[in-house]
Homo-oligomer: A and B are copies of this chain.
């Protein structure tokens, strides 16, 4: 037994107990004839006291102990003279009588404190030291508590967790698969799942009724800040349910998490918004509803008045930033630069201030009468002191997305993206297809197994682009935390979908033959949803990147810099796998 208590649990009621503690030396300081050591473990910090007057030798030894040494001490719990109200153990200290160094430590490359002096790269290389910092460790603890609560909730709803295989077949549709050469089947490869989609549908055919799994998924994509090659899904599927059933159940899960993890009791139903409205009013399929600034379309009011930029536009729309009329010329120029950034791509920004007297002063005054500007003001319901920001363009969807970025930027400038405020909603009625410029064909917006809305089925052959899907996303604070759909369960409709998506029968057979075959043996109506665990945890932890809630994340090149992986194989390994590395010259 290395300890009788952890470093986080001793209280004033424990005074005079003889205890044994073990942990890491957080810091050490000498004051007069006393040495104080803060001893840390996962559970907290306890102050140790060594007194020269009592035991010179022991105190000498204590003075030689460096930061991050692992030590074990025995001693008596005493009440502190100067209590520390910020520490849970702040009422007591340990008068140490025995000291044992369990392990030494080199000086760590950065300080093990919430505010550390270590940069990102250094912290990732020494992730095992980074994880000693309370603020990082807490994210992992939060993650654990969230998965426990998710399982508790789903289990209470009779979901069964079923492990689906990790070594499956490659289906080169959508993102790239990671593949795994099979030694026993020369020249053949497994793929790692991008999601357990097909298997969970097969589990519904198998009559499992309610399935879930918290599961690693893999995508070989070029990485961005909030993507990882391996990520974790809360993957769910249910039989004999319609959209209403599934939204209710998973809204219930979200509320359960908000309540148990964050102590927030969300009483109201989440608002639902059609994809078309989300695009129209927020320019995004994942609108952040913590704040307003709904888009107002201005074609009727501003077009045809001689301002050629607007006259040539197919879309004119704007937002009203409350109280931003005081923005300086410099700030307005910066906003213009913001929307003109290549990542956003607007041509320019028109603005209009509502003055104290109610008149509107705009950057395009010479083209518009005060009458028209007042009409515009009315459309926004703008008040004195407000700033109206307007974008226009030839492509409505593109311009809306630009306006969405501007909206988010204005919210950030006004501190409206409060990490402790949560706005949840369901976005529903997604289009079934989207046009891929790259592929020159319609692609499934969600995936090829998504059911069209019954009433839109007649449009499948004539206007497939107008067909809406029984698909839904849960959005919290502008983050898509989960999404899913009612699935097609009839093989005839599934065949039709494959055809529209441009699969030849042979290709469809090769890739999804087993699913189509399974559907011939009594597939029940079913539907599902997958939550992104990493995103949920980040959201609850108030993190900017999912990386910080992952124990051992990879960097933007997909490398684990701590263990230095990936790496080269022994030639004998390649040989056994019947493979040769054949690196092409870079173009």
Contacts and interface: CB of A to CB of B under 8 A. Distances in A.
Interface of A: 1-3, 6, 22, 24, 40-43, 68-70, 102-106, 108, 126-132, 137, 140-141, 143-144, 147-148, 151, 155, 160-170, 172, 176-192, 198-199, 202-203, 205-210, 216, 218, 220, 222, 229-230, 232, 240-242, 244-245, 489-490, 514, 518, 520-525, 550-552, 554, 557-560, 562-570, 573, 575-584
Given A179-B181, A185-B558, A551-B163, A206 B568 contact: no
6 contacts: A2-B240, A2-B525, A24-B522, A129-B206, A169-B566, A179-B180
A170 B569 contact: yes
B176 A565 contact: no
Nearest to A558: B184
A208 B131 contact: yes
B162 A521 contact: no
Q: Which of A143, A185, A244, A570 has the largest number of chain B CB atoms within 10 A?
A: A185
Q: Which of A22, A163, A245, A489 has the largest number of chain B CB atoms within 10 A?
A: A163
A58 B299 CA distance: 58
Nearest to A489: B103
B176 A160 contact: no
B565 A167 contact: yes
A380 to B, nearest CB: 42
A163 B232 contact: yes
A429 to B, nearest CB: 20
B207 A42 contact: yes
A524 to B, nearest CB: 5
A514 B563 contact: yes
Contacts of A518: 126, 128
A184 B164 CA distance: 27
A9 to B, nearest CB: 11
Contacts of A137: 206-208
Contacts of A551: 162-165, 199, 203
A371 B420 CA distance: 89
A155 B148 contact: yes
Contacts of A552: 164-165, 199, 202
Contact of A584 (B167, B230, B578): B578
Number of this chain's copies in the assembly equals 2
B242 A2 contact: yes
Q: Which 4 pairs from chain A and chain B are nearest by CB?
A: A169-B565, A105-B522, A131-B206, A2-B240
A185 B206 CA distance: 40
A244 to B, nearest CB: 8
B144 A581 contact: no
A293 B164 CA distance: 42
A333 to B, nearest CB: 39
Contacts of A577: 179
A106 B558 contact: no
Contacts of A241: 2
Contacts of A564: 169, 514
A68 B568 CA distance: 51
A140 B213 CA distance: 13
Contact of A104 (B245, B522, B554): B522
B581 A168 contact: no
Q: Which of A141, A182, A565 has the largest number of chain B CB atoms within 10 A?
A: A565
A567 B180 CA distance: 10
Given A102-B524, A169-B564, A182-B566, 16 more contacts: A42-B208, A42-B209, A103-B525, A105-B520, A128-B205, A129-B206, A151-B151, A168-B565, A169-B560, A172-B573, A187-B581, A189-B569, A216-B216, A514-B564, A578-B583, A578-B584
B148 A189 contact: no
Given A22-B240, A578-B582, A129 B230 contact: no
Q: Which of A166, A566, A575 has the largest number of chain B CB atoms within 10 A?
A: A566
A91 B402 CA distance: 65
B578 A579 contact: no
Contacts of A569: 170, 179, 189
Contact of A222 (B184, B186, B191, B520): B184
A162 to B, nearest CB: 5
A524 B106 CA distance: 14
B207 A41 contact: yes
A242 B1 CA distance: 6
Contacts of A550: 163
Given A190-B566, A579-B582, A147 B161 contact: yes
